[in-house]
Structure 1
Amino acid sequence: MPCALCGDIIPTEVARCPACGAWARRRDFRAIGVAVFMLLGFNAFIALGSGISLLRLERPLDGLTRDDYDATTTARTLAPYADVFTISAVLAGITGVLYLAWLWRAARQASGPRPYHRGWVLLGWVVPVVNLWLPPRIVHDLWVSSGRFSPAGRHAVGGVVAAWWGSVLAAIGLAQAFPSGAASLAEARFSVHLGVAAAACQALAAALCMVTVFQITRLQIERPLAA
């Protein structure tokens, strides 16, 4: 296996890199981070493709009148996009499982005191009400504690995490509200706009999450591991 820090080949039975001394658990942590990063990128590309495809429906709808509008045809056109949002939710769930494994490892080796028990790194995502505000705080604390930041840097980290979490909540709400049909032309146009907004929020949430994963992983593999 190549070392995550120097690239030297390390035998599997060796705990540390003979060239730079990197620990095996650091290599494993980087491997999980890379896997999460790639899955998030796949999520972002699917959402982006869905949004672009939905935008192509806007021009045909603009050329229609109430007399020309066919609700049945529009329902058949919009139905696959509702399925795409369902598939995206399943893919996000799969990505989330690996993301939580990465987050648990990051929390285990993070330095500094934690304002919450480490079990909340996992429970914070499933406990109702708590899961609306605790996950971004966990990510923010892990990011800040993984490196040395100036006050301006801390504010920048907070801005990225807040934008990511806002995009996540907006994407979930908009995707749930996306209809599979429209009885009128106005409803069809609204559905298209709603779908584009949902896809854009999904793509933005995945992209910003990629930033957090990349930065936290990079900072933790570049500093000494916590005891």
Structure 2
Amino acid sequence: MSLQGEGWYADPQDGRRLRWWDGERWTEHTHAREAAGSGRSHPRLGTGWRALAVVVQLALLGCVATSAFVLYTDLAILDFVEELALRPDGVDVEDGVRIDRLMALSLVDVGATLLTGVLFISWHYQLHNSSRMDRSAMRHGTGWTIGGWLVPVLSLWRPFQMVTDVRRGLTGDGAARPWRLQGWWWGCFATSLAIGQVASYFYNRTNAIPEDDFPGYVDLIGTAAAWERWSAGLSMVAAMLAIVLVRRMTRQAVAEPAAA
């Protein structure tokens, strides 16, 4: 068998599969070969998918706004804690009520994040499952666009891999590497989640503080806000990068013909 450079070729061990040849040797990457006339087909990307791409970008803009509000709330909490430490007499009950109100309102960020996640996964699933993809260049099944977010530990990298899989499918290049933009997006997003978990730990610890230990409560709230401000800032950056990423993938899917 003569191999013309790197690419997907019939697996010498199993003709029902394709295996990636890197130009020098067979790699471990394989892909099921779709039999001709099997009747298996993938839907085309229509105007509904393009409209969904716009909705996803608007939802991401909403996440930028809600994360900015969380950041504003954290800074207000830190100012309150500092004022209470330096000038206890300069803080009254209304200041505490204002902080409580801001903290309650900032919970809208959780809903915005969940809604945006559902929209993004739906958009990503439709793209990965579409006829626009060159399946011989892809390494993962479409189900991972959903399952990759839900499986513990694997969720730390599989969603990132699935975006790379779409790039391979769009270009027909099975060896295509992730966009640099994609790396910054995932790095900011994952770091934001990790820091957010630390902030949640300190917020949850306030539930164990006795009612008469107000200084202890304020100290924990301040510590949580100090961590959460960084999480909120990174979340804003990740959402803005995600908008650019969605626009790039959508433009490429619409403008370029599917690989033969």
What residue in structure 2 maps to residue 38 of structure 1?
58
Q: Which ranges of structure 1 fall in alignment gaps of 5 or more residues?
A: 1-22
Alpha-carbon contact 2:49-2:123 (below 8 Å) kept: yes
Equivalent of residue 110 in structure 1, options 110, 133, 153: 133
Does residue 170 of structure 1 match 2:194? yes
What residue in structure 2 maps to residue 55 of structure 1?
75
| Offset, 1:50 | 2.3
Higher relative contact order (CA 8 A, sep 6+): 1
Query: Greater share of strand residues, 1 or 2?
Result: 2
Rounded Cα–Cα distance in structure 1 between residues aligned with 2:194 and 2:105: 17
Rounded Cα–Cα distance in structure 1 between residues aligned with 2:201 and 2:240: 22
What residue in structure 1 maps to residue 241 of structure 2?
208
Q: Secondary structure at the match of 1:115?
A: coil
Count of residue correspondences:
204
| Offset, 1:174 | 4.4
Rounded Cα–Cα distance in structure 2 between residues aligned with 1:152 and 1:166: 23
Rounded Cα–Cα distance in structure 1 between residues aligned with 2:182 and 2:243: 15
Q: Which ranges of structure 2 fall in alignment gaps of 5 or more residues?
A: 1-42, 207-213
Deviates more, 1:75-84 or 1:98-107: 75-84
What residue in structure 1 maps to residue 183 of structure 2?
159
What residue in structure 1 maps to residue 143 of structure 2?
119
Equivalent of residue 88 in structure 1, options 96, 109, 117: 109
| Offset, 1:223 | 0.7
Deviates more, 1:107-116 or 1:38-47: 107-116
Does residue 223 of structure 1 match 2:247? no
Q: 1:177 to 1:218 in 2, by over 3 A?
A: farther
Q: Please give the TM-score of this superposition, normalised by the length of structure 1.
A: 0.71
What residue in structure 2 maps to residue 143 of structure 1?
167
Alpha-carbon contact 1:82-1:178 (below 8 Å) kept: no
Q: Please give the TM-score of this superposition, normalised by the length of structure 2.
A: 0.63
Q: 1:51 to 1:195 in 2, by over 3 A?
A: same
